[in-house]
Amino acid sequence: MTITATVNGKAVEFNGEGDTPLLWALREELGLTGTKFGCGIAACGACTVHVDGQPTRSCSLPIEAAAGKAITTIEGLKHADGTLSAVQQAWIEVQVPQCGYCQSGQIMAAAALIAKNPHPSDADIDAAMTNICRCGTYLRIREAIHRATGQAAQAVSGGAA
Amino acid sequence: MKIGRRNFLYGGLALAGAGVFGVRWSDHHARAAASAATVAAGEGGFTVWLKIAADDVVTVYSPHIDFGQGSHTGLAQMAADELDADWAHMRVEQAPAIPGFATVELAQGFLPQVMGDGARHLPKALVAMLARNFPMQLTGGSTALRFTGQMAMRAAGAAARAALVEEAAERLGVPAGELTTAASRVTHARSGRSLRYGELAEKAAARSLPENPPLKTAKDFKLIGQSVPRMDIPAKVDGSAQYGMDIHLPGMKVATIMMAPVRGGKLTGVDDKPAMAVKGVEKVVRLDDAVAVVASGYWPALKGLRALSPQFSDGGHGTLSSAAIATAQDQLRAAGKPDKKHGSGDVAAALAGGRKLEAVYRAPFVHHAMMEPFAATAHFKDGKLELWIGLQDPLATRTMAAKAAGIGFDDVTLHTLIMGGGFGRRFPDKCQIIGQVVALAKAVDGPVKLIWSREEELRHGTYRPQVSGGMAAALDGAGKLAAWRMDYVQSEDSEAETRFPYQVPATARQHFQYQSNQDDGPLRSVNSNHIGFFNECFMDEMAHTAGQDPYKFRRAHLPEGSRHAKVLDAVAEKAGWGSPLPAGHGRGIALVESFGTIVAEVVEASVGADGAPVVHKVTVAVDCGTTVNPRNAEAQIQGAVVMALSMALGEEITLDKGAVVQSNFSDYPLLKLAGAPATIAVHFLDSGAEMGGIGEPGVPPTAPALANALFAATGKRIRQLPIRDQASLRS
C-alpha cells in the first residue's frame, strides 16, 4: 500500500507496511538520516520531527497515521535560501553539541517550542524540552533557546574563568 | 582505561622482550603507507599527522574518533599553534584505520602511568613497534590532547614549520635565522619578501624533518588556550553528520538481534517460521548465544524478531541477583583475605588506638546509555571484509573482525565513523557486535547492517561494576586522621589509576576480587567513579566525627602549596563556602584526581516536597595543567557533572535470575533538562603542570559532593547509590 505525505515541502510516497514507524520510513525509504533512532518507545526524543507543526516522536508514529500530513525533519529546518534557522544558528553560537546524536531531536523540539511561544521562560523550557542528552548539554540548550529568541539567558550557566 | 588494555601493553612488552612478538609493519613501512593513503601530488605531508596543500589548506589526521569530546578541534589547535598556521586554513580528518596512524604517543604517554616512571625511558621505537603491531588506535582514557596532542601534533607542527623555513631560506637566498613565520607565511622582513606555506609545502616535505623540534612555551601560544569554535558542530545542527547508524549501501539488508538474556547463556533452540511469515523478513540466523533476523529494513527485522520464541540456557547463573552479589561481596570482605594490599603504616594499631568509625558503601551496576545504540555494517565478498563502524579503536576492531571472519588483517577494510556517545562502552574487546555483524555478513549476500534495539543495548551492557567498599578510619587526639582503610570488592584492582590525595600516617587499600557473570567495563572515569564516592563521602563522615568543617578538615590533610590544596581552596572560594544559604539547603564538597587532572566540586542541594533531591548549583575547580580550548573544556566538565548527577540520582542496573531487570529509558531513567542545575560554574587553574585529561575527570567528585550536600541539608548520610533508593530524605 502506498501512503502519501509531504516531507520538507515535497510530496512523497511511502511504500512500507502501514505500521512502519515514520522514523524508519524517513531514514530507510527517503534516506533522511538526520532524524535519529534512540529508544523506539518515544522516551528519548532523538527522533523528534514536526508533523503539521507539532513536535512528534517519529519512532512511535505509524506511517498510516502520517498520511496526508506535512512533515518537517532537521534537513528541512533551514530557510528556503539555505541559511540556518535561528535555532540552528544559536546552537552553533552557544556551541551546544558534543556527540551530537540527540541534537537533531533537541533542535526540532526547541524550534517547535519557539514557534508556539516566542519568549519561553526557563520554566517553559523545562516543561517543553524533555529529550534526553547523555553528554549533558542541557545548560547550553537552555542558553541557546534564549539566544535564538533574542533573550539574555535568565540563569548564568557558568563560565570559564 | 580498562585493565584489558593495560594487560595488552604489558603482555606486548613481555612478548617483545621474548622476541616472539610478530612484527608485520616496520615503522618506516607503516609511515610510508600512511602517507601514500593521505598525501596527493602537489601536497606536502609532514610526519603522518598533517599535510599542507598548494592552496595553503592544512589537514590534520586525528587517530582519535569524535564522540563528543571535541578533541579533533583541540588537536588541530595544537598542530596549528606550533606551525604558525592561519586557523582559517585548518581542517581535521579522521585518520584511516591503518597501522601508520596507530596511537604511538598514547601508548608512550600511558605506559608510565600504569608501569611507573621507569617506563618513561622506554625507547620510542620499541613503543612504536608495539603500538603499530598490536595494532592500537585508541580513543579513551582522556588521552587525545595530553598525549597525541602534546607529543604528536605539536611536534608535527613544529617540524613542518622548521622544514618550511629551511625551504624558504634556500629559495630566498637568506639565512633561516632571518625568517619569521605567522599566518601560514614565511616572511623575510628585511627584504619585505614572503612565501605562502602552500608554495613551499611539497618541496619542504621532502627535506629531512627534525626528530625533536623545539616546542613553544606557554607565553608564545597563539591558539592553545583559545576558545575557537569546534569544527564538528555545524554538521551536527543540520543533520548531515554521519554516524555508524546512518550508513546506507545499495542492496543493503538490515538485521536486529536478541542475545541470551542471562550473560553466559547460549541459544538452545528457535523455530524460524513465525519470523519468516513477516513481510520483508529474509532470514533467521542462529549464533552461539543469540538469534538475528535479517530483513529489508529495521522494522520488519524487529517484527520478525519479536515473533520468535527462542530458548536460551542460563550458563549456570540462573540464581544470581544484585542482592546475592552484595551478600557475596560482604562475605568476601568479612573473610579478610584480600587479593591485593596497598598502602603503608600500621593501620590495625592506629585503628585500635584512635577514635574509630566504620561504614560500608555501595554502588550499583551503571549503564553507559550512549544515545546511539550499536550499529555496524559489513560486506563479505571473495574472502574480503569491508566494515563501517564507529568504535573506540578501529585497528583493534580490524584485528577482531579478521579473526571472526577467519581472514587476515589486510583482508579487512574499515571505514571509521563518528560515534553517538560511547563513554567507555565502545572498546572493541567489549563489543559483541563485531563478531555478530561478521557472522551475518558471511550468512547473507551483499552488505548487511546490524542494529541493536535499545532494549538489547541496555540489557547487554558492560556496566560500571556493582561494588562495595568497607571503610574504616581513626582520629588521633588532635582530631587528625591517624589511619584510613578501604576494603573494596570488585573485579579489578584499581590502585594504578586511583590516588588517595590526603596525608595520613597509616593507610591500607585492600582489593578483594569478585566477578559476577557480567563483563565489567570502563565507564567515564572508570574506577575513580566509585572509589571517589567511597573516599570523599567517608572523608566527610570523618570531618563530622572530628567536629570539623569538611573543607577545612580536608585542607588540613593536604600538603601546603600542593596542587590539590590550591584546587580545593579555589572551589571553596568560588562557591562561597561557609556563606549563608536558604533554609533547607546544604553544601557538600569533594576532591578527586583522575587521568592526571585534579577536580574539586561544591554542590548546593536541598530536598523537595516529594522527598527527592534538588540540585541548585555546582561549582567546579579544575587543574588540568593547560586548557587547550576553555569553552570546550567547560562543556566537558559540565557534561560530566550532569552525567554524574544522573547516575547518582537515579541510575541502577539490577540483576534477577542472572538477567538484567531494566529494559529501556522507561525503567532506566536518565536526568533530563528540568533536573539539571541552573548553574554549573567551572573555574580552570592553569597551573602549567603536566597536561591532564578533560573528558572524564569531572565525573568523580560529583556524587560525593551531592551526597555530602544532602547530609548537610538533612542530617541523613547516604552510603548507597543511587540516591533515589534511600528512604525519603525529608526530615
CB of B676 closer than 8 Å to CB of B389: no
B247 → chain A, closest CA residue: A33
Sheet holding B467-475, edge to edge: B340-344, B506-513, B481-490, B467-475, B355-363
Distance CA B714, CA B21 (A): 59
Do B239 and A99 make contact, defined as CB atoms within 8 angstroms?
no
pLDDT in tens, B142-171: 999 999 999 999 999 999 999 999 999 999
Q: What is the pLDDT at residue B23?
A: 66
Do A138 and B676 make contact, defined as CB atoms within 8 angstroms?
yes
Q: What is the pLDDT at residue B4?
A: 46
A143 → chain B, closest CA residue: B678
Average pLDDT over residues A152-159: 46
Contacting B residues, span 288-307, partner chain A, CB-CB under 8 Å: 297-300, 302
Please name the residue that has the C-alpha cell 589511619: B483
pLDDT in tens, B662-691: 999 999 999 999 999 999 999 999 899 999
Distance CA B178, CA B162 (A): 13
User: What phi, psi does B459 have (nearest 5°)?
Assistant: -90, -15
Residue B243 grid coordinates: 554516524
Q: What is the pLDDT at residue B2?
A: 40
CATH, domain range A86-148: 1.10.150.120
Cβ of B340 under 8 Å from any chain A Cβ? no
Cβ of B277 under 8 Å from any chain A Cβ? no
Domains of chain B: 3-228 (3.30.365.10), 244-315+374-451 (3.30.365.10), 323-365+463-725 (3.30.365.10)
B371 → chain A, closest CA residue: A38
Residue A143: list chain B partners with CB under 8 A.
none
A31 → chain B, closest CA residue: B248
Size of chain A in residues: 161
Specify the pTM. Answer: 0.96
Do A100 and B672 make contact, defined as CB atoms within 8 angstroms?
no
pLDDT in tens, B401-415: 999 999 999 999 999
Q: What is the pLDDT at residue B639?
A: 98
Secondary-structure percent of chain A, ordered helix, strand, coil, rounded to 5 = 35, 15, 50
Question: Which class is A3-76 in CATH?
Answer: alpha beta
Q: What is the share, in percent, of chain A residues with pLDDT greater than 70?
A: 94
Q: Which of B485, B493, B486 lies closest to B340 in space, CA to CA?
A: B493
Average pLDDT over residues B603-619: 95
Asked whether residue B725 carries a pLDDT value surpassing 90, the answer given is: no
Cβ of B692 under 8 Å from any chain A Cβ? no
User: What phi, psi does B354 have (nearest 5°)?
Assistant: -110, -175
Collapsed DSSP state (helix, strand, coil) of residue B278: coil
How many residue pairs from chains A and B have C-beta atoms closer than 8 A? 216
pLDDT in tens, B537-574: 999 999 999 999 999 999 999 999 999 999 999 999 99
Q: What is the largest CA-CA distance in chain A?
A: 60
Residue A99: list chain B partners with CB under 8 A.
66-68, 370-372, 418-422
Please name the residue that has the C-alpha cell 570559564: A160
Indicate the pLDDT class of residue B17, thresholds 50, 70 and 90: very low
H helices present in B375-421, as ranges: 394-405
pLDDT in tens, A34-56: 999 999 999 999 999 999 999 99
H helices present in chain A, as ranges: 22-24, 86-93, 103-116, 122-128, 138-148
Q: Which of A25, A40, A47 lies closest to B456 in space, CA to CA?
A: A40
Do A24 and B673 make contact, defined as CB atoms within 8 angstroms?
no
Q: What is the pLDDT at residue B28?
A: 87
Cβ of B641 under 8 Å from any chain A Cβ? yes
Q: Where are the domains of chain A?
A: 3-76, 86-148
A62 → chain B, closest CA residue: B299
Cβ of B252 under 8 Å from any chain A Cβ? no
Q: What is the pLDDT at residue B510?
A: 98
CB-based contacts of B367, cutoff 8 Å, min separation 6: B458, B461, B463, B651, B653, B662, B668
Asked whether residue B49 carries a pLDDT value surpassing 50, the answer given is: yes
> Testing the interface with A: which of B73, B237, B370 to mutate, by most A Cβ within 10 A?
B237
Asked whether residue B25 carries a pLDDT value surpassing 90, the answer given is: no
Indicate the pLDDT class of residue A1, thresholds 50, 70 and 90: confident
Q: What are the b/e assignments for B531-542, b being 16+ CB within 10 Å?
A: bbbbbbbbbbbb
Asked whether residue B622 carries a pLDDT value surpassing 70, the answer given is: yes
Cβ of B12 under 8 Å from any chain A Cβ? no
pLDDT in tens, B461-518: 999 999 999 999 999 999 999 999 999 999 999 998 899 999 999 999 999 999 999 9
Indicate the pLDDT class of residue B7, thresholds 50, 70 and 90: very low
Asked whether residue B621 carries a pLDDT value surpassing 70, the answer given is: yes
Do A20 and B642 make contact, defined as CB atoms within 8 angstroms?
no
